[in-house]
Amino acid sequence: MIVHKQKSVGVMVLGLTLLAGGCIPSAQVAGEKEPPGADIHPLYLPPSPDTIPGDLRGEDIRMGYLMVVETQQYGKRYVGNSLNCTNCHLDAGLHPQALSFVGVSVLYPEYRARAGRRMNLVDQINDCFERNMNGTALPPDSTRLSAIVAYIEWLSKNVPPGSAVPWRGLPPITPVRDPDVVNGKAVYEKKCVFCHGVDGQGTMAVPPLWGPRSYTIGSDMARVSVAASFIKANMPRGRGWSITDEEAFDVAAYINSQPRPDFPKKVYDWPKGGKPADAPY
């Protein structure tokens, strides 16, 4: 039912180094700008692939990486759209300004207002598959699920338990006016259409932004504030921080005004309150 996220060079290089045992490249994409005055936190220390053990645990870590980068291939049975996890968690979860996985495992379990309960890492992974991938939860005994957990835990191994993980999520931006969908369409046509297409459906390497092959209305990215923060920090790819805050909000509003899959379980969200003002339902 329809109702009213390109693989970077960094990802491909990382794939080779993970499988070959080389060094992880910088999580920052070459040429991408950082926000004024921003530095990567000293605790942001992704481990070297040299630390992947040569045992079954190491096989799990490598499979977890493939599940994140090639979700369409390795997690196909659990995915209902055309996205890969790395379309939002850029550079296989290594990008410090794009929903990085580094340090995430030390935060769980934690209370999530949308669910109205404490969630563990497995819960969060499956929530992403259902909402963002328009798919189904992986079974508790799934080796693919345990592989994603192993990969995220490995990426977090240098972050001490109890850390705040200040780079978590996305660098927030604040609107100074209501988003302008008409201007957002103009921004999209000027700065986004080359990769994502006039119809927003992308290509084989670039994710669709709306329609049946994109994220659901229950996705975090369906909130204009979240999409705007992601766009501001990371888009156009390789030229993050090159558009204004207003442009980011406008184009996010335009993208999220387009049709996308419904999320039937949305009726159970925020059972104890706390629903964000820009939730689209």
The structural domain count of the chain equals: 2
Q: What is the pLDDT of residue 238?
A: 87
Q: Assign residue 140 the CATH number of its domain.
A: 1.10.760.10
Query: Do residues 85 and 50 both lie within one domain?
Result: yes
Query: Do residues 185 and 151 both lie within one domain?
Result: no
Any domain includes 11: yes
Query: Do residues 14 and 103 both lie within one domain?
Result: yes
pTM score of the predicted model: 0.88
Any domain includes 99: yes
Q: At 249, give phi and psi (nearest 5°).
A: -65, -40
Any domain includes 188: yes
Digitized pLDDT (tens) for each residue of the chain, 281 residues in all: 444 333 333 443 355 355 444 333 334 443 445 555 446 788 899 999 999 999 999 999 999 999 999 999 999 999 999 999 999 999 999 999 999 999 999 999 999 999 999 999 999 999 999 999 999 999 999 999 999 999 999 999 999 998 889 999 999 999 999 999 999 999 999 999 999 999 999 988 899 999 999 999 999 999 999 999 999 999 999 888 999 999 999 999 999 999 999 999 999 999 999 999 999 99
Q: Which amino acid is at 70?
A: E
Q: What is the pLDDT of residue 10?
A: 40
Query: Do residues 135 and 203 both lie within one domain?
Result: no
Any domain includes 88: yes
Of how many residues is the chain composed? Answer: 281
The region that residue 255 occupies, defined by phi over 0 for left and psi between -120 and 50 for alpha, beta otherwise, is alpha
Query: Do residues 125 and 10 both lie within one domain?
Result: yes
Query: Do residues 11 and 137 both lie within one domain?
Result: yes
Any domain includes 280: no
Any domain includes 171: no
Taking the CA atoms of 77, 78, 84 and 85 in sequence, report the sign of the dihedral they define: negative
Any domain includes 172: no
Any domain includes 85: yes
Query: Do residues 13 and 136 both lie within one domain?
Result: yes
The region that residue 186 occupies, defined by phi over 0 for left and psi between -120 and 50 for alpha, beta otherwise, is alpha
Q: Domain limits at 212? A: 181-268
Q: How many angstroms separate the CA atoms of 116 and 213, rounded?
A: 29
| 108 close to 117: Cβ distance less than 8 angstroms | no
Q: How many angstroms separate the CA atoms of 145 and 5, rounded?
A: 22
Q: How many angstroms separate the CA atoms of 15 and 25, rounded?
A: 10
H helices of the chain, in order, are 9-20, 56-69, 71-74, 90-93, 121-131, 143-155, 181-191, 193-196, 224-234, 245-256
Query: Do residues 69 and 202 both lie within one domain?
Result: no
